[in-house]
A and B are shown apart, each in its own frame.
Chain A
Amino acid sequence: MNVLDDGHTARRWLPRFLSPRHAVVNYAIMRWQGIGDADTPGADAECRLHIACDGLCEQVPIAAAAFAAFGPPVVIACADWACEWLEQRTIGDAHGLSVAHFEQALALAPSERYAALLVLDALAGALENSRLDQDRPYLGS
C-alpha cells in the first residue's frame, strides 16, 4: 500500500505520451470531416480530435483519427490511444467508446479519469461537427 500518495506509480500509458503516433501535426490530411474541441479548465487541459471518414452512417469506417492536446501527460496518452482505437473502427463503434474502454486499455488511476472524459467530449464534438459534404467525399492522404 502506497501511503505516500504520489499517483505516479502506475502510468502504463507513459510510452504513448513520450511517442504518440496520432498527433495531427504528423498527418498530411488536408480536410478532416469532423473536428471537436473540449477542455478541462481545472486541469488546464484541452483536446481537439480530428476524424476523416466518408460519411456518418454507423457502418462508415474511420479512415484516420488524430489529435492535438495540451495538458498533463495522461491527456496526451488518452487522446493518442483513442485515435489508434478509432482508426480500426466505424462511426458506429465511435459512438460506443466509453471511459471504461480507456480505463481498461491504459490502466487509468481514478484521478486520471478526467482525461478520458475530456477526450470523449472532444470526440462527441467531432462526430457531431461534421463538415461532410455528401457529394464530395474526403480525398485520402
Chain B
Amino acid sequence: MTIYFDHNATTPLHPDVFEAMRPWLMSRHANASSLHRGGREARAAVDEAREQVAQLVGAHPSQIVFTAGGTEADNMALKGIAGTTRPARLLISPIEHPAVTDAATALAASGWQVDTVAVDGDGRIDLADLERQLADGDVALVSIMAANNETGVIQDMPAIADIVRAANVWLHTDAVQAVGKYGFDFARSGAHCASLSAHKIQGPKGVGALVADKHLDMAPLLHGGGHEQGLRSGSYNVAGIVGFGAAAARLSEYRGAEIEHMRKLRTMLETGLDTMPGITRFSTGAERLANTCQFAVAGYDGEGLLMLLDREDIAVSSGSACAAGSGEPSPVLLAMGVDPAVARGAIRVSLGPENTAEEVEQFLKVLGRLSGGAAGAMPGSISASVLSG
C-alpha cells in the first residue's frame, strides 16, 4: 500500500466529490450552452459550482472564470493582461511555478522585459526590492504566488498588494497551492486576479479557475463562442466544474480541521527529521503551508532518493512534478541562495488530510534506514543501489 506524500502534485479525488460528479457523468449529459431544458439544468449546475468556488476563496461568483486548470489560468492572467497593452515590464518572483515563469518567458519573446523581485533566504518576497523595482517604472503586471509549491512558503499578499496597488499596477497571484492548505481569501489578498486548480483540493483534474476583478482588462486566450463573458470560450466541462464546486464546498466546511491535522503530522515529521544527521530543512524561518516540508539529505541526490523511496512504496517528489527528471537543482531553492550541491539533494513531502501518524513514522523509519547508508546513494551510484534493491 503506497504511502502518498505528494499532495502538492495532485490530490486523490474525494468520494463526496465523485458522488456530486456522478449524475453529470452518467446521465445528465446536456451541453450547458444548449437552450433546451437539459442545457439549462447543466448551466444551473455550473452556476451553483461558481458560487461554491467563490464562497471558498472569498470572491463574488461573477469574478470566477472557469478554465481547464491552474496552468491555463496562469497563462490567461499573464498573457491576457499583457495582451491589452504594449510590451512593457513584467515583475515576477523567482520562485514561481513554471506556468508563470514560462508564460513570462513567452512574453519576453514578444518584447516584454521580465524582471524578478528578490526573495530572502527563506523564500519570502523582499518588499523593499519590490518597491524599488516598481519605482523604476513601466511595470504593467506583477505576478507573485500566494504560497510556493516546493517550500510551502506563504507570502504576505496584503502587504505586497498595498505596494503594487500604490504604484497603480495589476497584481496576479497563483493561489493554486494556497487554497486548500491555508485560508487564502481573494478579497483580503488584495490581488486583482488569482489562479485556482481543482485537483489540488481533492477535486478532479482538468478544471480550474481564474478569479478576476471586474475592472481588470484581459484579452482572452481561447476564442470561439464567447463563453465566460467572452473571456474563455469552449464547451463547459459540466461534470468537472460540478466536481470543483463540490470540492470547494467540502473544503469550506472542513479546511480548518484538515489543516490542523496536517500541521500535527508535519510537526511530527519535522521533529523526527531534526533528530537525523545530515538533514537540511528549507524555509524554516517563514510561515509555510501546514502540509509541506522540503528538505535535503546530505550526500544524496534528490532524484535518486525519490526512486529509493518509490521502491519502498513511498511517493514524494523532488521539486515540481512538472520538472521531474530534469536533473537540475530547483530554481526556487537557488533563488533562496541555497548551495546548488545541497539543493540537488532536495525532496518534498506534501501531506494530505488522509495521511496518518503511522505513515509518518514509517517514512521516518525508512528514511533513517536509507540515509544510514548515505555512502551508497551519491549520484552515479544510484543505479547500483537500484539494481541491488
A and B touch in the complex (CB under 8 A): yes
Distance in angstroms between the alpha carbons of A4 and B43 in the assembled complex:
8
In the complex, what residues of A have CB within 8 A of residue B229's CB? Answer: 3, 5
- B13-67 contacts to A, CB under 8 A, are 35, 40, 43, 46-47, 50, 60-62
Chain B interface, DSSP helix/strand/loop, else mixed: helix
CB of B50 within 8 A of CB of A3, answer yes
Chain A's nearest CB lies how many Å from the CB of B59?
12
Tell me the minimal C-beta distance from A109 to chain B in angstroms.
Answer: 15
A4, B46: Cβ atoms closer than 8 Å: yes
8 Å CB contact of B35 from A1, A2, A8: A8
> Whole-angstrom distance between the alpha carbons of A101 and B258 in the complex?
55
Q: Are A9 and B40 in contact (CB under 8 A)?
A: yes
The number of chain A residues with a CB under 8 A from chain B is 8
In the complex, A4→B35 CA distance in Å? 12
User: When chains A and B are docked, how far (Å) is the Cα of A6 from the Cα of B229?
Assistant: 11
Are B43 and A6 interface neighbours, CB within 8 A?
A: yes
CB proximity of A25 to chain B, nearest CB, Å: 27
Contact with B along A1-21 (1 / 0, CB 8 A): 111111011000000000000
Measured between alpha carbons, how far is A8 from B47 in the docked complex, in Å?
A: 14
Residues of A within 8 A of B227 (CB): 4
Question: Would you call A1 and B40 a contact (CB within 8 A)?
Answer: no
Q: In the complex, A1 Cα to B60 Cα: how many Å?
A: 9
**In the complex the two chains form, is B62's CB within 8 Å of A3's CB?**
yes
B40 touches A2 (CB 8 A): no
Which residues does chain A contribute within 8 Å of B35, judged by CB atoms? 6, 8
Which residues of chain B are near A8, meaning CB under 8 Å?
Answer: 35, 40
Q: Are A3 and B47 in contact (CB under 8 A)?
A: yes
Q: How far is the CB of B162 from chain A (nearest CB, A)?
A: 29
Residues of B within 8 Å of A3, CB to CB, are 47, 50, 61-62, 228-229
A1 and B43 form a contact (CB under 8 A): no
User: Which residues of chain A are within 8 angstroms of B43 by Cβ–Cβ distance?
Assistant: 4, 6
Q: B62 to chain A: which residues have CB within 8 Å?
A: 1, 3
- Give complex CA distance A9, B61 in Å: 17
Additional A-B contacts beyond A1-B61, A3-B47, A3-B229 (17; CB < 8 A): A1-B60, A1-B62, A2-B47, A3-B50, A3-B61, A3-B62, A3-B228, A4-B43, A4-B46, A4-B47, A4-B227, A5-B229, A6-B35, A6-B40, A6-B43, A8-B40, A9-B40
8 A-B contacts (beta carbon < 8 Å): A3-B50, A3-B61, A3-B229, A5-B229, A6-B35, A6-B40, A6-B43, A8-B35
Q: List 7 A-B pairs, minimum CB-CB distance, nearest first.
A: A3-B62, A1-B61, A1-B62, A4-B43, A2-B47, A8-B35, A3-B61
